[in-house]
Structures are given as C-alpha cells and as structure tokens.
Amino acid sequence: MTLPFIFCALVTLISAIISLGFSLAAALGAIGNARTMALYACARSVALAIASVIPLLTGSTEWLLAIALSMIIVQGCDALVGLTIHDRMKTLGPAGTALLNLVAVIWLMHGLS
C-alpha cells in the first residue's frame, strides 16, 4: 500500500466514522418519526463505515475509490443540509471533509497514472 492509498483510506474511514457518530447521536436523541428517520440514516452510516474498512484489509484501490467517492457525495450532501438550515459548523465541517477526501482521491489517482 502506498502513502496516497493509506492517506485516502484513512480520510475515508474517518469521514465514515464521523458520519456514523452523528447518525448515532441523532438516533439516540430523537423520538417518534424523527427517530425512525435517524435510524434509517444510522443504518446507511453503519454500512459505509464497514465498507470503509475493506480497502485497508484488502488493498483494493477500486474499492477505495468507490467508497471514497461515496463519502465525498455523503459529506457534500451533509454540507448542503447545513447550508439549508443556516448552521455554519454543519456546513463547513462536512464541506471540509468532502474537500479533503477529494484531494486524497486526486492524489491516489495521480499515483495510479
């Protein structure tokens, strides 16, 4: 595994774990229909977190690119939610994470060519 691979894999994994943490917090703090929606988000976050570990175990660049791009989309959408609700931290945090993950993917892809 190369340095760009490890960096991209770790950024992706950290992004997925942060997303899972927010989903868990929402699920634990909500009631009624909001809790149901939070549990759905939590289920998807668990899947992304598990999928983010696989590249570190297998060394699969293709898997890493797929999950990294997925997390870029997730964090980008989270940033849009933050923007919609006018919450600076919920906008800048995910946007920064998405940008860092994008840089990691570009570095990884540059190393492949």
Q: What region, left, alpha or beta, does residue 87 occupy, with left being phi > 0 and alpha being psi -120 to 50 degrees? A: beta
Residue 5: closest CA among 108, 99, 98: 108
| Cα Rg, the chain, nearest whole Å | 15
Q: Are 84 and 76 in contact (CB under 8 A)?
A: no
Q: Are 23 and 36 in contact (CB under 8 A)?
A: no
Token digits of residue 103:
């840089």
Tens of pLDDT, residues 31-69: 999 999 999 999 999 999 999 999 999 999 999 999 999
Q: Are 108 and 9 in contact (CB under 8 A)?
A: no
Tens of pLDDT, residues 69-84: 999 999 999 999 999 9
**Judging by beta carbons within 10 Å of its beta carbon (0-12, 13-18, 19+), is residue 23 exposed, middle or buried?**
buried
Domain count, the chain: 1
Domain containing 53: what range? 3-112
Q: What interhelical angle do 3-29 and 88-112 show, nearest 10?
A: 150
Q: Is the pTM of this model over 0.85?
A: yes
